[in-house]
Structure 1
Amino acid sequence: MATDELHALADDRELLGRTSTAERVADILRNRIAEGFFPSGTRLSEDSICGALGVSRNTLREAFRLLTHERLLEHRLNRGVFVRVLSVADVRDIYRTRRMVECAVVRSLGDPPYALDGLAAAVAEGRRAARAREWQGVSTANIHFHRELVALAGSERTDELMRGVLAELRLAFHVVDDPRRLHEPYLARNARIVETLGKGLRDEAETLLAAYLDDSRDGLVEAYGQRVPKSA
Structure 2
Amino acid sequence: MSVNALLEDPDPDTSRHAHTGAWIAAVLRRRIAQGLLTPGSKLSEQALSASLGVSRNTLREAFSTLAGESVVERIPNRGVFVAAPGAEEVREIYRVRRLIEPAAVLWSTPTERELEAMDAIVEHAQQARAAGSVPDMADANQALHQAVVALTGSSSLQLLMERVLAQMRLVFHAMSAAPDFHTHYVQRNIDIVARLRAGRPAGAAEVLRGYLDDAEAELLGHLGAQRTTADPSTN
Give the TM-score category using the shorter length. 0.7 to 0.9
Q: Structure 1: 5+ residue runs without aligned partners?
A: 1-13
Distance 1:76 1:112 in 2: 46
> Match of 1:165?
164
Q: Which residue of 2 aligns with 1:34?
A: 33
Cα RMSD over matched residues? 2.7
Deviation of 1:33 (Å): 2.2
Cα deviation, residue 123, structure 1? 0.5
Supply the AA of the counterpart residue of 2:153: G
How far is 1:88 from its partner? 0.6
Question: Greater shift after overlay, 155-164 or 32-41?
Answer: 32-41
The gaps in structure 2 that reach 5 residues or longer are 1-11
- Structure 1 124/50 Cα, relative in aligned 2: closer, same or farther at 3 Å? same
Contact 2:70–2:83 (CA<8 Å) still a contact in 1? yes
Contact 2:29 2:162 in 1 (8 A): no
Count of residue pairs the alignment pairs up: 218
- Compare 61-70 and 187-196 and name the one that shifted more: 61-70
Aligned to 2:46: 47
**Deviation larger for 222-231 or 209-218:** 222-231
Name 2:62's counterpart in structure 1.
63
CA distance in 1 between partners of 2:81 and 2:32 (Å): 11
CA distance in 2, matches of 1:15, 1:128: 32
Query: Do the aligned partners of 2:122 and 2:190 also contact (CA within 8 Å) in 1?
Result: yes
1:106 is matched with 105
Q: Which amino acid aligns with 2:173?
A: H
**Does the aligned pair in 1 maintain the 2:129–2:137 contact within 8 Å?**
yes
Q: Deviations over 1:12-42 (max 9, x none)?
A: xx97458433334323322332333432233
Amino acid at match of 2:58: T
Displacement of 1:116: 1.6
CA contact (8 A) 2:29 2:163 kept: no
Tell me, in whole angstroms, the C-alpha distance in 2 between the residues paired with 1:80 and 1:153: 38
Q: 1:111 to 1:131 in 2, by over 3 A?
A: closer
Q: Which residue of 2 aligns with 1:197?
A: 196
